[in-house]
A and B are shown apart, each in its own frame.
Chain A
């Protein structure tokens, strides 16, 4: 009998200790998790017109300079995408900022997260570099910092000045829709997509005007009107990720 009560007491101790430990972890988590909630009147999106893109790659260079991206990484690649008629067609590929982003679900520490305005962000201070998000992204939009980027950036100053902090070795990085330009612009009363200072660098730099940026919630914005009036496609729509980058396909008559 006596033995039994002791065992029960010990078992209770065991339970209490266990729940205290779990509670402690929970508390630590609550005090440290970055807030991804809240609401925003905006839903940022990009429209890329393949008829206008000539594959010059200036968007990539502008992106490298403004976001201080190392030369071996491209947040924004320009791929050859077949031909329409005799014309070579290109496909610029930034991060899709998916509504249902596989990388956000995959990230175990919540370093990939979605802002209320839809931008899929990276918290470089949280990322542990496990690279699960790279495996999860269907668009190859993510790049790992295999090495420290400590030299001068060859794209600076010709293509712009860095606006964000350089990422350390060992974390994954990707396109952020130039959130720093959007946030700063909004504070100054500017309109992203209209005012250059508040618009992603690749959109501003494109010499052909092939890229448009704006608020998908605003029916009057240029992007909303473009996708209302034109046939468009998104990359790998079949996956159900709902990308916020819309492409206007190249047409034969325009070639």
Chain B
């Protein structure tokens, strides 16, 4: 017997409709890019990477909560954070799928995406990144399988498959170890992708890999906690234990202080001598077109203010201060990726022998780039929203524990 539930329109339906609208517009833009090619972008031979690469790098960095929290739970053995790690894993999976979607858009020959796996140039940082990305995506899929397997719907419809999927949970420590290794490799290699290029003086330094890694460890958990806190406030389907999140936010706050220290020296220890290209790029970040983004967006709003909000106990007690701080951190990570990418591309060093000078380029994303980029972000938001509603993504009540433990008996007796 089908029982018809009365359908009432709730605010969340408007939110979902809004996101679907953005995803739809993004799909149209995506199609236009695939058909017409990259000439519809504002990218050029001098600025070949722009908005999409920033979304791609940011999505990967902000997915870092998955490996960080899984390591905390399964390798450090702090089991109480397990429900948070589960949220982070799903956020990670969505983040990486967003990155792959954007990458597919950004390469000139999307039909050849598989070349990255089949043809190897082991000297290339991007080779290492694409290998790690693919393998880590598999790890994330396995890590997320129990979350999907334990839904009532899966258990009722496909009991065998559901059991198998939940059984994967036994391998969580191995997966956490594998995920930690793969993530540390490619999170830092993404920085090194820029850092090894001798042609771009502002990038050519070892610190980029460290900073990409560091900012990911700050930004990833921040996004996970932000999603958890906001959904806990907006829907009764999310069951949030604030005492669990308290320690994580404190950790984020202190990690942020460490990050500010490194970023400060990374940016300003370059100024002792004039070096063609590097000095100009730095000037661009302190007084040029990137200055607002760097000084205000990245440093003040993205790092210093959230550090204060998270570390002063009076602010940390307030829900809204925490949510503001975490949102600012997430935006700060994006601003950092934008600054790194643009500072190397907006200043081009000439190769004329008598006059090694710099020329300046400009870039502002085209409408198509923006719409398709927003579409990818909206897809991520939509996936998280639906997961909070239908997959119990945020559930700190501890009720799911017994469900997960059931298959252990099944597995032990067969």
Residues of A at the B interface (CB closer than 8 Å) are 2-3, 6-7, 10-11, 14, 25, 28-29, 32-33, 79, 81-82, 91, 93, 102, 104-111, 126-132, 134-140, 142-148, 168-172, 233, 235-236, 239-241, 247, 249
Which of the candidate stretches B71-79, B118-126, B315-323, B379-387 sits at the interface with the other chain? B118-126
Would you call B352 an interface residue if the criterion is a C-beta within 8 Å of the partner chain's C-beta atoms? yes
Q: Are the CB atoms of A148 and B37 closer together than 8 Å?
A: yes
With the chains together, A209 CA to B230 CA distance in Å? 72
With the chains together, A142 CA to B108 CA distance in Å? 14
List the B side residues contacting A148 at CB < 8 Å: 37
Which of the candidate stretches B221-229, B343-351, B366-374 sits at the interface with the other chain? B343-351
Partner of A135, one of B127, B200, B354: B200
Q: Are the CB atoms of A136 and B199 closer together than 8 Å?
A: yes
Q: Which of B151-182 contact A (CB under 8 A)?
A: 170-171, 174
A-B contact pairs, 16 of them (CB 8 A): A25-B117, A33-B119, A108-B125, A109-B115, A109-B127, A126-B112, A127-B109, A127-B112, A128-B116, A129-B109, A135-B199, A142-B45, A146-B38, A171-B109, A236-B351, A239-B198
List the B side residues contacting A11 at CB < 8 Å: 171, 174
With the chains together, A105 CA to B192 CA distance in Å? 13
Partner of A28, one of B107, B118, B174: B118
Instruction: Please encode chain B, from 115 to 149, with 1 for each CB lying within 8 Å of some chain A CB and 0 for all others.
Output: 11111110111110110000000000000000000
Would you call B402 an interface residue if the criterion is a C-beta within 8 Å of the partner chain's C-beta atoms? no
Q: Which of B260-291 contact A (CB under 8 A)?
A: none
B411 to chain A, nearest CB (A): 6
Q: Are the CB atoms of B108 and A131 closer together than 8 Å?
A: yes
Partner of A128, one of B48, B107, B199, B354: B107
Known pairs A29-B119, A33-B119; A146 contacts B39 (CB<8 A): yes
With the chains together, A111 CA to B121 CA distance in Å? 9
Would you call B17 an interface residue if the criterion is a C-beta within 8 Å of the partner chain's C-beta atoms? no
Q: Are the CB atoms of A146 and B37 closer together than 8 Å?
A: yes
Name 19 extra pairs, CB < 8 A, besides A14-B171, A131-B108, A135-B199.
Answer: A6-B411, A6-B412, A29-B120, A105-B121, A108-B116, A108-B127, A108-B130, A127-B109, A129-B107, A135-B200, A138-B349, A138-B351, A140-B351, A142-B45, A144-B38, A145-B108, A147-B39, A235-B351, A247-B353
Would you call B49 an interface residue if the criterion is a C-beta within 8 Å of the partner chain's C-beta atoms? yes
Q: Are the CB atoms of B198 and A132 closer together than 8 Å?
A: no
Q: Are the CB atoms of B197 and A106 closer together than 8 Å?
A: yes
Q: Are the CB atoms of B118 and A10 closer together than 8 Å?
A: no
**Size bin of chain B's contact surface:** 35 or more
Q: Are the CB atoms of B354 and A3 closer together than 8 Å?
A: no
Would you call B339 an interface residue if the criterion is a C-beta within 8 Å of the partner chain's C-beta atoms? no
Q: Are the CB atoms of B124 and A82 closer together than 8 Å?
A: no
Q: Are the CB atoms of A128 and B197 closer together than 8 Å?
A: no
List the A side residues contacting B43 at CB < 8 Å: 146
Q: Are the CB atoms of B119 and A109 closer together than 8 Å?
A: yes
List the A side residues contacting B408 at CB < 8 Å: 3
List the A side residues contacting B46 at CB < 8 Å: 140
Q: Are the CB atoms of A107 and B112 closer together than 8 Å?
A: no
With the chains together, A148 CA to B36 CA distance in Å? 9
Partner of A134, one of B48, B123, B344: B48
B33 to chain A, nearest CB (A): 11
Partner of A144, one of B108, B121, B125, B355: B108
Would you call B364 an interface residue if the criterion is a C-beta within 8 Å of the partner chain's C-beta atoms? no
B32 to chain A, nearest CB (A): 14
